[in-house]
Amino acid sequence: MGRTIIKNIVRFAVLIFIQAFLLKNIGFYNLATPFLYILFILLLPFETPNWLLFPIAFLTGLTVDAFYDTAGINAAACTVLALVRTIFINITVQRQGFENEPEPKLGIMGFRWFFFYTVVLTLFHHLTLIFLEAFSFSDLKYILIRFLLCSLFTVFLILISEFIFFRKKER
């Protein structure tokens, strides 16, 4: 239990650092900005209770908002991400499997499940984030292109980072 908490605190610090000081400056004509920090919320253990998951997601987004100088947009998007994560896990993961598979990681859950999980949650997060950022439907083509490119870039980076730290499931 204590080891899991320390591992998640380190993961939080590393992902926020990478997001704030590296990925903030990477973009493709302001169309494709990666948001790798959502990996922290995606990789939280299955047994994280909702009363703790939602404040963690909100504070994660608020931390990124502090670096990006945005007014709570990331906090709102991360809260939506936590909601979708809860629904997705309740639908796709059996409760009996929590002892065997404590975290939603690529090495534990398998590529197909993890890829679908990452894509669905990233799309919901980015849809919320980009529509709140634009706060209008006036330039819908730009918004949709930005949404798709940011989502592709983020999913790509999440999968690359998971493959870097990939460990096969031990049985």
62-84 pLDDT per residue, tens: 999 999 988 899 999 999 999 99
Q: Quick check: is 101 in a domain? A: yes
Question: Is residue 85 one of the residues assigned to a domain?
Answer: yes
**Is 92 inside any structural domain?**
yes
What percent of the chain shows pLDDT beyond 70? Answer: 91
Q: How far apart (Å, rounded) are the C-alpha atoms in residues 65 and 139?
A: 24
Residue 124 located in a structural domain: yes
The pTM for the full model equals: 0.89
The count of domains in the chain is 1
Q: Within a domain: residue 111? A: yes
pLDDT at 2: 76
Domain holding 51, by residue range, is 2-164
| pLDDT score of 170 | 46
Is 140 within a domain?
A: yes
Q: Has residue 169 been placed in a domain?
A: no
What digits encode the pLDDT tens for the residues 92-134? 887 655 555 678 888 888 889 999 999 999 999 999 999 998 8
